[in-house]
Chains A and B, each alone.
Chain A
Amino acid sequence: MTTNNTTLLDSIDPEIVQTLAKRQNEIANGAGTNSKLTAALALGSIPVALAALSKDVYGQSASDVLDVLQFALLLEYLEAEFYNRGVQNATVMGIPAADLPIFTTIQAHENAHVAALRAMITAKGATPIAKPNFDYTAKGNVPGFNFAAGQYATFQVLSQAFEDTGVRAYKGQAGRLINDKATLTAALTIHSVEARHAAEIRRLRNLKGWITGRSRDDLPLFTQPIYDGENNASQAGILLLPLGNNNGGGEAVTEAFDEPLTKDQVTAIVTPFLA
């Protein structure tokens, strides 16, 4: 820390300085943070970092909340249209009658999420983003997929990919809503429903309802970023692996906690699905 910075810090609440110093250590140890804060700390600029931190930790702004809602709306559009088309083409795709209630249920929920998010955005005086056009082949990563005959298995694969992504995406944005309790609570009640969807489709596919390690199971390679980081076994700075002794081992420790994805990570996953 330079002399100049020390002088500047003298006029700042010591608690904030302490928090920043702690945060700096955490970041040095690889903690996630916003890119401006990382950049500022890399430059060794405490005052700039303080400015970034004020947004990172204290006082997520109204524009942050709107950004989260619009981002969530994009994901829900992606899911809603996927299930709308899936249910519409259930017969041709060959979805068995016994399985169809799963997808009509999820379809109804995703459309309700779209409507709720649009209403929340409008209530905050903004305009909901328009639904983009989607490419469910993900730029050819899912070759030829078009809700067509014989593609039910692929439909299930995409469903699992979208639901597991949705859980991690909402989780990653919750912190930006910490000062807007109504939006936070609404987002969390969607987040856990996405987790229910994910568990159900995973069961339908004869998988565990939860994610073990960073395994994508039988999903194609391009979906690996949806599962990367799920093998984290430390929570609140404590390595929890010993808790797996006689309790399913390290695999159970990773299953017991779902991990967030950053907005950038989710954007990278979703972008191939934008036509």
Chain B
Amino acid sequence: MPEKKTMVISSAEQLLDAKTRRNFLKLMGAGGAVFFLPSILTACSDDDDVTGPAFGQPAGSGPAVVIDFSRGDVAVLQYAYALEQLEADFYTRVVAAFSTSTFSAGERVVLTDVKNHEVIHRDAFKAILGPSNDFTLNTTYGNLNFADRTSVLATARTFEDLGVAAYNGAAQYLTVLANLELAGKIVSVEARHAAVIRDLIAPKSSSQGDSGTSFAPKAFDDAFRPGKVVPLAQPFVVEVLTPRNAPATFVQGPNNNG
């Protein structure tokens, strides 16, 4: 198999340049990789842009979104921003589908609250990251039926448990106290969401373990490294989530599975 070619796009002007554009299209056709530096991604987020993937396209069919952990704390916040974008988008669609779904009144209150929290998390990171916030992920959910209670809750559980494990695992990369505190303030809310979603699926369950249905299926939550989180999130993302330069050493949590 020939080695895949790569190109790096660092400014919107490059995309308007005929030669760049030609090479870009050629490279895409050949299955090559294109890396967009963060500054370009906002410019590419419109659906009608030549490079802008849209909602519902196949997972991983879009351009790479690189999170470069050599940037330190900023990268960890970008990583969190990426995950919060997915959660916010998911619950926004869940709430938008209420007219056709079978959730009880109480469940709608819960899901609307969670939607609000996740949108606020996303927008908070957007504000906090400032110039480093310039990437927008497009989502895809395969054939998920947003009107189907069971499917929606199962996906919600996946997102919330993954969010908890992602924050718990990424905290060790943070070097600034304020950032660690911020992550801590959010992760426990994600854990509250996880427990409530799980209680909607299996009320008052005590079932423990990896496939346990309990609101709290383990005495210690998981702590996953980015390299474990990204493949679990990728099925919901059109772009190619591309963590780079994550520290070689990962300190495991008590479950030793991250």
Interface, chain A (partner B; CB < 8 A) = 57, 98-99, 101-102, 104-106, 108-109, 112-113, 116, 167, 171, 174-175, 178, 181-182, 184-186, 188-200, 203-204, 208-210, 235-236, 238, 240, 243-244, 247-248, 252-253, 255-260
Q: Separation in Å of the A178 CB from the closest CB of chain B?
A: 6
Which residues 94-129 of B have a CB within 8 angstroms of A? 110, 112-113, 115-117, 119-121, 123-124, 127-128
From A106, A192, A208, A253, B168 is in contact (CB under 8 Å) with A192
From A104, A209, A235, B182 is in contact (CB under 8 Å) with A235
Q: Separation in Å of the B76 CB from the closest CB of chain A?
A: 13
Residues of B within 8 A of A104 (CB): 206
In the complex, A106→B244 CA distance in Å? 38
Residues of A within 8 A of B220 (CB): 112, 116, 186, 189-190, 193
B18 at interface by CB-CB < 8 Å: no
Q: Separation in Å of the B247 CB from the closest CB of chain A?
A: 10
Interface, chain B (partner A; CB < 8 A) = 110, 112-113, 115-117, 119-121, 123-124, 127-128, 164, 167-169, 171-172, 174-175, 177-178, 180-182, 184-196, 199, 204-206, 208, 214-216, 218-223, 251-255
Residues of B within 8 A of A109 (CB): 216, 219
In the complex, A267→B182 CA distance in Å? 23
Q: Separation in Å of the A20 CB from the closest CB of chain B?
A: 14
Residue of A nearest to B118 (CB): A256
Given known contacts A174-B180, A209-B193, A260-B185, A101 and B255 CB-to-CB distance under 8 angstroms: no
From A184, A185, A243, A259, B124 is in contact (CB under 8 Å) with A243
In the complex, A248→B88 CA distance in Å? 14
Q: Are A102 and B206 in contact (CB under 8 A)?
A: yes
From A98, A210, A244, B192 is in contact (CB under 8 Å) with A210
Q: What are 14 A-B interface contacts by the 8 Å CB criterion?
A: A102-B204, A189-B255, A192-B187, A194-B188, A195-B189, A196-B191, A197-B216, A200-B215, A235-B128, A236-B178, A247-B119, A248-B116, A257-B186, A258-B192
Q: Separation in Å of the A64 CB from the closest CB of chain B?
A: 13
Q: Are B188 and A99 in contact (CB under 8 A)?
A: no
In the complex, A62→B67 CA distance in Å? 32
Q: Are B175 and A178 in contact (CB under 8 A)?
A: yes
Q: Are B216 and A182 in contact (CB under 8 A)?
A: no
